[in-house]
């Protein structure tokens, strides 16, 4: 009997190569010089003159030389990586690899190939740090949209998040080109801007950016993916729990004292 071996696309994990392994995408060998190039773009974006009119107080997490644009980059990257999504690899600590200079206390990235990382993904379009200083002023808001759109270009080449980056680019460009949507974006109160953007998404955009479907929608997407993964694993191993038992064990491991009521919407009342 031949020795078991990893699938071809996973073999890079056993090498000394620099690897970013976003689990939803798969292991990816980081091209030589790419992280350095993105870091240079991010530093230039942080000092973009357009950010001056959007100056605001930031949290103590960020350094004194970090602008609202720099803070936006950190939050945008964590969103691109996926809310609660897991990643690993020797270059998996990608936010610290690329943007650590923006922090009040810069830290070296973790390069342990066995480490794994996750993030909250709090950012939502059109932005987290830029919309507030723009307020309801049309001129500042126009600058905000332009600067936020330019921020997506900073992460060009980061293949594991490219589909999501492209979906956001399409969303920004679609709203900018549509006179009716542009009118909404320039006139809706600042506090309702995020809702305006997430209420008119296409099916393609939601497929790439499932967080924007809202908490229940995102929960449904996660459960669907869990079922798919469970079926695939069940076909490869001889034993294991049934799907509902696996989900119940996952909830217990997460410390959930009761089954969330939202699962009744996602799974249906019978399965719930």
Structural contact between residues 185 and 199, judged by C-beta atoms closer than 8 angstroms: no
Q: Which residues, in sequence order, are CB contacts of 147 under 8 Å at separation 6+?
A: 48, 50, 51, 54, 69, 130
* Higher local confidence (pLDDT), 121 or 185: 185
Average pLDDT over residues 245-249: 91
Mean pLDDT of 30-44: 98
User: What pLDDT is stored for residue 7 in this prediction?
Assistant: 76
The predicted-structure confidence for 168-198, as pLDDT tens digits, reads as follows 999 999 999 999 999 999 999 999 999 999 9
Distance CA 127, CA 116 (A): 27
Q: With 70 as the cut, is the pLDDT of residue 4 above it?
A: no
Tell me: pLDDT of 3 over 70. Answer: no
CA atoms within 13 A on the CB side of 129: 24
Closest CA to 35 of 104, 89, 115: 89
Angle, alpha carbons 91-86-172 (nearest 5°):
90
Give the mean model confidence (pLDDT) for residues 79-89: 94
CB 241 within 8 A of CB 249: yes
Least confident of 23-32, 99-108, 222-231: 222-231
Contact 215, 263 (CB under 8 A): no
pLDDT of residue 123: 97
Least confident of 30-34, 123-127, 165-169, 234-238: 234-238
Q: Per-residue DSSP letters for 208-268? A: H-GGGGHHHHHHHHHHHHHHHHHHHHHTTSS----HHHHHHHHHHHTT-SS--THHHHHH-
Q: Are 58 and 66 in contact (CB under 8 A)?
A: yes
Q: What is the pLDDT of residues 209-232, one digit of tens each?
A: 999 999 999 999 999 999 998 988
For the cut 70, the answer to whether the pLDDT of residue 135 exceeds it is yes
What are the residue ranges spanned by the domains of the chain?
8-208, 217-267
Overall average pLDDT of the 143-166 stretch: 99
Q: Which residue has the higher pLDDT, 43 or 15?
A: 43
Q: What is the pLDDT of residue 2?
A: 61
Average pLDDT, rounded, for the chain: 94
**17 burial via Cβ count (<10 Å: 0-12, 13-18, 19+):** middle
pLDDT value at residue 35: 98
Question: Where is pLDDT greater, at 12 or 112?
Answer: 112
Q: Can you name the residues that pair with 31 across neighbouring β-strands?
A: none
- For residue 12, give every residue at least 6 positions away whose Cβ sits within 8 Å of its Cβ, in sequence order, or none: 19, 27, 29
- Give the pLDDT band (50/70/90) at residue 9: confident
What is the average per-residue pLDDT within 132-146? 97
pLDDT of residue 12: 80
């Amino acid at each position: 009997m031949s020795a078991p071996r990893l699938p071809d696309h996973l073999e890079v994990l056993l090498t000394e190569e620099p690897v970013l392994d976003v689990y939803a995408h798969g292991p990816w060998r980081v091209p030589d010089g790419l992280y350095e190039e993105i870091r240079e773009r991010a530093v230039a974006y942080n000092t973009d003159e357009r950010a001056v009119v959007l100056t605001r107080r930031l949290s103590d997490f960020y350094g004194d030389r970090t602008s609202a644009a720099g803070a936006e980059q950190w939050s945008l990257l964590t969103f691109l990586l996926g809310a609660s999504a897991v990643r690993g690899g020797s270059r998996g600590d990608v936010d610290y690899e690329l943007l650590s200079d923006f922090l009040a206390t810069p830290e070296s990235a973790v390069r342990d190939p066995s480490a794994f990382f996750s993030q909250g993904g709090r950012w939502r379009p059109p932005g987290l740090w830029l919309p507030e200083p723009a307020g309801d002023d049309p001129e500042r808001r126009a600058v905000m949209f332009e600067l936020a759109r330019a921020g997506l270009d900073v992460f060009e080449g980061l293949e594991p998040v490219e589909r999501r980056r492209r979906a956001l680019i399409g969303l920004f460009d679609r709203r900018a080109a549509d006179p009716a949507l542009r009118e909404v974006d320039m006139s809706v109160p600042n506090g309702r801007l995020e809702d305006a953007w997430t209420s008119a998404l296409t099916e393609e955009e939601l497929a790439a950016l499932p967080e924007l479907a809202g908490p229940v929608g995102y929960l449904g997407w996660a459960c669907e993916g869990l079922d798919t993964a469970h079926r695939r694993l069940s076909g490869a191993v001889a034993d294991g729990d049934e799907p509902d038992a696996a989900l119940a064990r996952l909830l217990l491991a997460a410390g959930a004292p009761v089954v969330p009521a939202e699962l009744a919407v996602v799974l249906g009342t019978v399965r719930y």
